Amino acid sequence: MLSTPRLAAAPLQRVHIARLVPLALLWPALLWPGLAQAQFDPSAYPEVSMSVLLKRHAELLAQAKADPAQPRVDDTPQRYRVLVTFRGERRAMADNARALIKLLSEEQPQVPRSYLDYFRQEIGVDADGRTYWMPVRAQLVPFVDTEIAGGDPIYVYAVFIGAVGPRPVLLVNEFKKAQMQ
């Protein structure tokens, strides 16, 4: 269950540090309406499957695949909530994802050059029979290590920013362990 950030959180309530960062660090507020709120708003992330997400961005993905050396930034990055399975793996962010985030900060005036510093690690997830690596906000990394384990179904609240080669790049702003019935 997503916790609600408060100024004085109850001792037993989990409050993600990422939700308490100053608004100055939430650069997407200018780029994507609705993120200027101090609280995380999960309703701003429509739920889609990974296959639907990839179909929605098929043209950009095809361009990136045709020219793998050229990262492709989506002109209108979209937010999504996607059900995936956490692989239990985390690694330093790949150079191609780093290059795409850098390009995003160069092409979008609202994105500060320092935005690259907010994403240093990526998590491995499975969806629709494929493995994806998704950069995760640095503030969430301690929670990845303590709240989810390999094989756990999770919802990632992510922004699709583009692609490098055949790799779609989704920046994870939040996650929630899925309650499977």
pLDDT of residue 179: 86
Task: Give the N- to C-terminal CA distance of the chain in Å, as an integer.
Answer: 15
CATH at residue 65: 2.40.50
| Distance, CA of 61 to chain centre | 17
- Report CA Rg, the chain: 16
Domain assignment of residue 5, yes or no: no
Number of domains in the chain: 1
Domain assignment of residue 3, yes or no: no
Domain assignment of residue 76, yes or no: yes
Each residue's pLDDT expressed in tens, for the chain with a length of 181 residues: 444 332 233 333 334 444 444 333 444 443 444 444 457 899 999 999 999 999 999 999 999 999 998 999 998 889 999 999 999 999 999 999 999 999 998 888 888 888 888 999 999 999 999 999 999 999 999 999 999 999 999 999 999 999 999 999 999 999 999 987 6
pLDDT of residue 160: 96
As a whole number of angstroms, the distance between CA 64 and CA 60 comes to 6
CB neighbour list of residue 68: distance below 8 Å, 6 or more residues apart: 164, 165, 166
pLDDT of residue 181: 64
Phi/psi for 2 (5° steps) reads: -70, 135
pLDDT of residue 109: 80
Domain assignment of residue 6, yes or no: no
Give pTM, 2 decimals. Answer: 0.79
pLDDT of residue 144: 95
As a whole number of angstroms, the distance between CA 128 and CA 62 comes to 19
pLDDT of residue 76: 86
Structural domain span for residue 35: 17-177
